Structure 1
Amino acid sequence: MKALLVLDEPRRAQAFVDYLSELGLHCELTQDDDGNVHIWLVDESRFEQAQREVKRFLAEPFHPRYQEASWKRGDSHARFTDGARQTGWISDLLRQTGPVNLLVLLACLLVYGLSWLGLPMFGVLSFPPRAEWLLGTEFWRAFTPALMHFSLMHLVFNLFWWWYLGGMVERRLGSGKLLVLLLVAAVLPNLLQFWASGPRFGGLSGVVYALLAYVWFSGRLNPARGMGLPDGMAVFMLVWLVLGFADLLGTPVANMAHLGGALIGLLQAWLDNRRRVTDKGRW
């Protein structure tokens, strides 16, 4: 058997396997201690065909074809070869996050709440008026603007994508990978935005753009990692960038932070895939 895909939703994994079975691609499911579902292709000679179906699935995971395949099988519950267990919705919800993901989410909520109460969070956390201040004791202010949000809509939008994409990366690749992406995609885009517009900016948008680009491009380069986004999300990201630079969004936008984050995400995904291929070649 050959590993095909890893998912964290047992029902969706079973629906995909049921669909593959209709195509004559027989698979088995196992579930690890973290609740992740591993899909294994039985006939390794058909791996290339199965990979094409994985790419198709990751591009449109909610397509009715997968649920219809499960209905034809007459069983909507996941069937595992070993280690099978059903989990409640609370456990499923908690598995969507990790320590880094949760800590940053709570920090953003705390900063927003303290600002709403009238505490001078902007003066404490904003990018300094002069970049050279970062070489002294206030180096941390290169990162902390990412924790500030200036409206409830700004906060909710960024935190939803941070929770969804950051949780996906942390579950698949670990807390260390998400922490690196967070720090790099906050600090470097913040420096770009300061260079472009000065110190009055904030939010996780640059990090969100990095995660969007990273997850989408990783799914294109290596679908077996179990991460991916529809191509429509990449188009949305580009359209939003263009609208921002054209000043058509009706609100101030940290365009350079968005652009910097997107480029960092693409570059990191490419580097990770290249490293994987290189390491595989050493064997």
Structure 2
Amino acid sequence: MTTAPIRRTDRRISPVFLGIAAVTAVSGWAAWTGFADNPGLAVFLFVTAAWIVSLCLHEYAHARTALHSGDITIGAKGYLTLNPLKYTHALLSIVLPVLFVIMGGIGLPGGAVFIERGRIRGRWRHSLISAAGPLTNVLFAVVCTAPFWLDALDGVPDTFRYALGFLALLQVTAAILNFLPVPGLDGYGVIEPWLSHRIRRQVEPFAPFGLIAVFVVLWIPEVNRAFFDAVDAVLRALGVTEWDTYWGHELYRFWEGSQEIPGVSGS
């Protein structure tokens, strides 16, 4: 099997990603300690930066899996550096997902890294490449909720607890939406290799509009209610209550400042 000629610079972590990770750490510390005069601002910076980190890891998982599946061009494209500016569509990969979080508190997936599928042999490999991204969101959700399902919340400030709960909600929504078998999303990428050539050719024109269609459908009240009921059920299984996610969202939207957050000073 051909090995990828990956140079050291191709896999060196980008200063851009390190900067985002630093913002996550500093704002998380501010949310934990109550150092910030406005705890909502600290939560906003922490959740947004952590969400971008998860988007970078999502795309990295796609790229790394593709590399080991046969696409030896991944390194030269900069995808292994975790730099979001290297993505094929930085607007779709970072800007729009962040805007969706700010507007509606939902972790809509983005895209994408360009993978040369012609270099990859085997349907299972193609499916695994597509599944690697949302599986990263699943892992991120498990990590965010670990203090909840491990019953290790003693001593955790309410501000930080609510922030983790809201961040976990974003990861769960992203994982569920990504796994939908909708053209343009990872869920369709998982099943696409197993479809006939005729079906794939018929579906292909709709791929650019898949994400938009999901966003529009989620605005239907009945669909939105059913979707978030499913999300809440998953979060409850992980120990996160609707109380945690609700107040996490309220803190995140600090500019509204309409309610007194339980257990949070300065709100």
Place the TM-score, normalised by the shorter chain, in its bin.
Answer: 0.3 to 0.5
What's the TM-score once normalised by structure 2's chain length? 0.34
What's the TM-score once normalised by structure 1's chain length? 0.32
- RCO higher in structure (CA 8 A, sep ≥6): 2
More strand, by proportion: 1
Bigger Rg, structure 1 or 2: 1
